[in-house]
Structure 1
Amino acid sequence: MKILDRAALTILILGGIHLLLIGLIGFNVVEYVLGSPEEWGTRIIYIIIGLSSLWCFKYFSFTPRGGSRLKDR
């Protein structure tokens, strides 16, 4: 699971940088590399970024010192 966690977090960070570029200078890296939003390659990349963000929701239950707030419940 640790590899999947790191992969999801890396993809989520790259997705955030992608959105930063769109917001600041209007440059969409995914569409530049893979084509229009209607193409399957572009849609698959957006789906992977979205699934990574859903996977990282589990980090909301972690405390700053590590571990989970929900462990004692």
Structure 2
Amino acid sequence: MRNLNIITLLLIIIGGVNWLLVGLFQFDLVAAIFGGQNALLARIVYVLVGLSALWQIGPFSRSLKTGEVAAERHR
């Protein structure tokens, strides 16, 4: 489960950086790497980023219930 959380967080970070580039420079890095927005590989990346965001709703809601984020507990 921990590995899945790390992978999904990494994908969310990739998606966030991609949206930053789109917002600032109108440059879609995922599309540029994988051959355009409609290319199969780019669409797979977009879907994986979206599914990762949905997956992370669970850990996020659990952290709200406990009153602290798990990463903060280890300090």
TM-score by length of 1: 0.81
Larger Rg belongs to: 1
Deviation track 1:17-73 (CA, whole Å, cap 9, x = no partner) reads: 11011001111101111112221111101011011001000112213154xxxxxxx
Unaligned runs of 5+ in 2: 71-75
Identity within the alignment, %: 32
Q: Partner of 1:54 in structure 2?
A: 54
Instruction: Give the structure 1 partner of residue 73 of structure 2.
Output: none
CA gap 1:13/1:65 in 2 versus in 1, 3 angstroms: closer
1:9 alignment partner, SS class: helix
- Other-structure match for 2:68: 64
Q: Secondary structure at the match of 2:38?
A: coil
Q: In angstroms, what is the RMSD of aligned CA positions?
A: 1.2
Gaps of 5+ in 1: 67-73
In structure 2, C-alpha distance between the alignment counterparts of 1:37 and 1:45, rounded to whole Å: 10
> How many residue pairs end up in the alignment?
66
